[in-house]
Amino acid sequence: MTHDWPAITADLEQLLKLRTIPFGMKLFEDRAEMEAIPRIRRPSAVHTLDQVVGQASRLGWTVGITAEDLVGAQCRAVVGLGGAKTDEWKSGRHMKGVWFSTDEDAAAHQAAMSCVPDGRYEALVVGPLSAGKLGEPDIALFYATPGAMIYFINGLQWAGYKRFDWSVVGESACADSWGRALTKREPSLSIPCFAERRYGGVLDDEMLMATPPDYLLKAIEGMRALSKNGFRYPFPQYGVQQDVRAGMAVSYPGR
């Protein structure tokens, strides 16, 4: 299915009042395919993947990377680049005394992460959805406030209701968002971690949604239905001391 990315982006920005650019990720088995994308940017410095994501979502750049562009195995492992999942990486020893108190805690954290398997992909492109340079991305992503995120989730649940259960690995929370969405092929919400906020420019009130593209269409349809019922983001404050019955009656006639 070919998506109308400018229209989808405009809908998300209007419905959720987004402050940053919806973007996508696409993995390539051959780096030459990534390098063939018109006007693709290639890093001139070593980055975290959080920085590359920030360049797409906050600067509007389309950036192609390979394993050598990333600072270390932790970034490479989540997207399956560069054979990062060595025994040394699995041990988590580089995180002992930094984020975790023991070798066992660090290794358990590594094992809990959702990561693309090694060996298949040579390159990754991250860029704005509306630019269309990714064609059909593997996943779409956007940053938003908690209020906007629950509204998006309400949209997903409007038809064909499903309960969502998400993971929190703590540091390396990109495994909860793009790692999980790439591997499990389902919407994945995360609380961005220290690295995403320090290096990726993520703001204190932002969360990250990563999802296969078709779920965006489902959520947009659901949010439009909710809007017709008077439920729109941002949510208007009713007041903590008001008699609630008048407000509730608007949403639940005959209550």
Question: Is a pLDDT exceeding 70 seen at residue 143?
Answer: yes
State the Cα–Cα distance between residues 175 and 133, nearest whole angstrom.
25
Q: Average pLDDT in the 160-178 region? A: 97
Q: What percent of the chain has pLDDT over 70?
A: 99
What confidence tens digit (pLDDT) does each residue in 28-79 have?
999 999 999 999 999 999 999 999 999 999 999 999 999 999 999 999 999 9
| Torsion sign (Cα): 203, 39, 17, 228 | negative
How far apart CA 192 and CA 209 sit, in angstroms, is: 10
> Quick one: CA dihedral 62, 194, 180, 120, positive or negative?
positive
Looking only at the bridges linking them, the beta strands covering 123-128 and 188-190 are unpaired
- Give the predicted TM-score (pTM) of the model: 0.95
- Assess whether pLDDT exceeds 90 at residue 250: no
d(CA 111, CA 106): 9
Indicate whether 251 pLDDT > 80: yes
Quick one: pLDDT at residue 255? Answer: 66
The candidate with the shortest Cα–Cα distance to 79, out of 179, 3, 149, 173, is 179
